[in-house]
Amino acid sequence: MSYQCILFENRDGVARLTFNRPERLNSFNTQMHGEVREALASIPGSGARVLLISGAGRGFCAGQDLNDRAVAPGAAPPDLSDSIEKYYKPLVLALRALPMPVIAAVNGVAAGAGANIALACDLVIAARSANFVQAFSKLGLVPDSGGTWFLPRLVGTARALGLTLLGDKLSAEQAASWGLIWRCVEDAELTGVVEGLARQLAVAPTRGFARTKQAIYESWGRTLEQQLDIERDYQGELGRTADYAEGVAAFGAKRAPNFTGR
């Protein structure tokens, strides 16, 4: 496919999606939403075993492109709830539902919906110069794209309220210290670190990862007893996979396993 607002390739088990509107700090317009949705829909069943998301230029994603919402003087403003329902909600749910690890490589600013789209990924690696900004309060809005759900679960209520009410920049180093993201690395190391991680995950037991993601993300709505039942059921399912058999065989033979994702 030929895209205008993103770059997308799927090769050697790694799908790579790059937001590609650097002149607008990769902020979303309607076309970019459509292209991202199409790319994500193509991944299941394609042979990809990990998705790597990044941003072109000096930013990861600045959220919504407000120029895309410009209205004529005196005209009624757009219905923001329609934009959430049509674009951002499906995007966040699609990222969470992918049956494989999703890595966000944050190379610069991640603001507004851009910050929360990064947090919707499974592993977030950020360059030291990157920052996260819950910019919604500056516009009189509530955090969207899952921000009010992700933040208190990742950093607690007090920090979630501080980040969202004040809208201050949070450095990548502080984000890692708070547990908001997985790692902060030096700028020059970001590409090498995330590419190495993607290659590592692309040859790992993909079905086990998919069930691990599902078990952890859905655990908030269960009791401990219910979660123990889920773990039992998933272990029973995964214990019958080719990857489990290979893992056991490799362990016994003291060799590296050759996982196929099945």
Evaluate whether residue 258 is within a structural domain: no
Same domain, 195 and 181: yes
Assigned domain for 125 exists = yes
126 and 220 fall within a common domain: no
Specify whether 37 is located in the same domain as 153.
Answer: yes
Distance separating alpha carbons of residues 133 and 114, to the nearest angstrom: 9
DSSP string computed for 82-104? HHIIIIIHHHHHHHHH-SS-EEE
Asked whether residue 23 falls in the same domain as residue 136, the answer is yes
Q: Are residues 133 and 236 in the same domain?
A: no
Same domain, 50 and 164: yes
Q: Are residues 183 and 238 in the same domain?
A: no
Residue 259 in domain = no
Cα torsion for 197, 198, 203, 207, to the nearest 10°?
Answer: 100
Q: Are residues 184 and 152 in the same domain?
A: yes
Residue 96 placed within a domain = yes
Give dist(CA 149, CA 121) in Å, integer.
Answer: 13
Same-domain check for residues 159 and 90: yes
Q: Dihedrals φ, ψ of 24, to 5°?
A: -120, 25
Q: Each residue of 10-54: pLDDT tens digit?
A: 999 999 999 999 999 999 999 999 999 999 999 999 999 999 999
Same domain as 108, residue 179:
yes
Please check whether residues 10 and 132 belong to one and the same domain.
Answer: yes
Give Rg (Cα) of the chain: 19
Domain end call among 161, 186, 202: 202
Residues 59 and 47 occupy one common structural domain: yes
pLDDT in tens, the chain (262 residues): 789 999 999 999 999 999 999 999 999 999 999 999 999 999 999 999 999 999 999 999 999 998 877 666 777 778 899 999 999 999 999 999 999 999 999 999 999 999 999 999 999 999 999 999 999 999 999 999 999 999 999 999 999 999 999 999 999 999 999 999 999 999 999 999 999 999 999 999 999 999 999 999 999 999 999 999 999 999 999 999 999 999 999 999 999 999 999 9
22 in a structural domain: yes
- The domain that contains 233 carries what CATH number? 1.10.12
Report pLDDT for 68.
Answer: 78
Neighbouring residues of 154: CB distance < 8 A, sequence distance ≥ 6? 119, 178, 179, 180
- Whole domain around residue 150: which residue ranges? 6-202
Structural domain contains residue 124: yes
- Domains in the chain, number: 2
Is 221 inside a domain boundary? yes
Residue 260 lies in a domain: no
Last residue of a domain, one of 176, 202, 228: 202
